A and B are shown apart, each in its own frame.
Chain A
Amino acid sequence: QSALTQPRSVSGSPGQSVAISCTGTSSDVGAYNYVSWYQQYPGKAPKLIIYDVTKRPSGVPDRFSGSKSGNTASLTISGLQAEDEADYYCCSYGVKFGGGTKLTVL
Chain B
Amino acid sequence: EVQLVESGGGLGQPGGSLRLSCTASGFTFSTSWMDWVRQAPGKGLEWVANIKEDGSRTYYVESVKGRFTISRDNARNSLYLQMNSLRAEDTAIYYCARDFAYAQYDYWGQGTLVTVSS
Contacts and interface: CB of A to CB of B under 8 A. Distances in A.
B108 A51 contact: no
B105 A97 contact: no
Interface string A77-101: 0000000000001011110111110
A92 B110 contact: no
Contact of A51 (B61, B95, B104): B104
A48 B45 contact: no
A92 B104 CA distance: 8
Contact of A48 (B37, B47, B105): B105
B104 A100 contact: no
Nearest to A33: B102
A45 B5 CA distance: 12
B45 A34 contact: no
A86 to B, nearest CB: 13
Given A34-B102, A36-B104, A46-B108, A3 B44 contact: yes
